Structure 1
Amino acid sequence: MTTAAETKSAVTTWNIDPQHALAEFKVKHMMIANVRGQFSGVTGSLTLDETDITKSKIEATIDATTIDTREPQRDAHLKSADFLDVEKFPTLSFKSTKVTAAGDDELEVEGDLTIHGVTKNVTFKVEGPTAAHKDPWGNTRRGIVATTKISRKDYGLHWNQALETGGILVGEQVTITLEVEFIKAA
């Protein structure tokens, strides 16, 4: 009589630690230099399949009202109907649809990004997930850094102003970077 060895599940769930998660963006201002901003209200989870990373999934939600560019008037304008319209669309979200290994500790994570009520397919270049580490409080953590570029016009963010000397006030291309720590769910 033979018995099959029990196999331990290689699929684990990890929750985003909102205290150690940041969504940043940069966009050209007056065609001269980048303006950077960030959102601090990041939540979500990672379902990690360590046996086959391509079966992993990630979901994230960002509180649009937490936007901070270090300029209160600009922040108020970005929250207005000219841009994010946070009263109608209080969150931004991402839900993965495909994960592809792209090299050592690098992934391409494709999925649906929703901004301003518009959903488009994007691909994030991802570093990680890092190896699991215990923190001083007994939690197990991992981290990622994910980056993509989008056209803000694809999401209905068309507001702009022509400059007297030519050009425009706000660039079209936006670079988005997420730096996230996850805590393993119990």
Structure 2
Amino acid sequence: MSTTTLTGLTAGTWTVDPTHSEVGFVARHLMVSKVRGAFTDVQGTVVVGEDLADSTAEVTIKTASVATGTPDRDAHLRSGDFFDVDTHPDMVFRSTSFDGSTLRGELTVKGITKPVTLDVDFLGVATDPWGNEKAAFEAEGEIDRTEWGLTWNANLEKGGVLVGEKVKIAIDLQLGKQA
């Protein structure tokens, strides 16, 4: 598939603009409500091929940057019960294929690598006031956190568990074209 399907996106190296990007997540809490959070330290490179199928992406997410708006919960997520940030400071995503709307790749968390699939929307290309070419994407998908060893939980008195196993991923990504 040619890059012409993503109007304005040109071949070359693009880097994640961390100040305009977010890797967010949503997990069930108490089986009925949702907890939202994000990772605030995201870095990466996307190499767009002349043929879109030849494109690659690699993104590193610092696990210690997890933020849910609740300091105690964030500290628990950073602990050995979840991300164990002292031992596993990074999560890494490496693409394996992209067809313009579906991004497939491998996500490594806590030393465990598993395949993931994300539905992608290309939002377009723009030039900022300083002459820098930018591109934007949104992506979403769902994973089972237990597949990556994120198994901590607590049983509830009336049944169910404190934290749901399914986690929705929501990504807003802005890229800057490298000269």
What is the match of residue 111 of structure 2? 117
CA distance in 1, matches of 2:30, 2:85: 24
Distance apart, 1:116 and its partner CA: 1.6
Letter in 1 for 2:69: R
TM-score, normalised to structure 1, is 0.88
Q: C-alpha root-mean-square deviation of aligned residues, in Å? A: 1.1
Letter in 1 for 2:131: G
Q: How does 1:95-106 map to 2 (within 5 A)?
A: 95-101=94-100
Query: How many residues matched?
Result: 170
The worse-fitting range, judged by mean Cα deviation, of 130-139 and 59-68 is 130-139
Distance apart, 1:182 and its partner CA: 0.4
Q: Name the SS for the 1:76 alignment partner.
A: helix
Q: How does 1:38-77 map to 2 (within 5 A)?
A: 38-49=38-49, 51-77=50-76
Q: 2:163 matched to 1:170?
A: yes
What is the match of residue 131 of structure 1? 124
What is the match of residue 4 of structure 2? none
CA distance in 2, matches of 1:27, 1:131: 29
Post-superposition CA distance 1:9-56 (Å, at most 9, x none): x6211110011111100000000111000111011011112x422221
CA distance in 1, matches of 2:66, 2:75: 9
Q: 2:36 matched to 1:36?
A: yes
Letter in 1 for 2:114: K
Post-superposition CA distance 1:44-98 (Å, at most 9, x none): 011112x422221111011111111111110000000000000000011100011
CA distance in 1, matches of 2:83, 2:64: 9
Moved over 6 A (4+): none
Letter in 2 for 1:171: G
Greater C-alpha Rg: 1
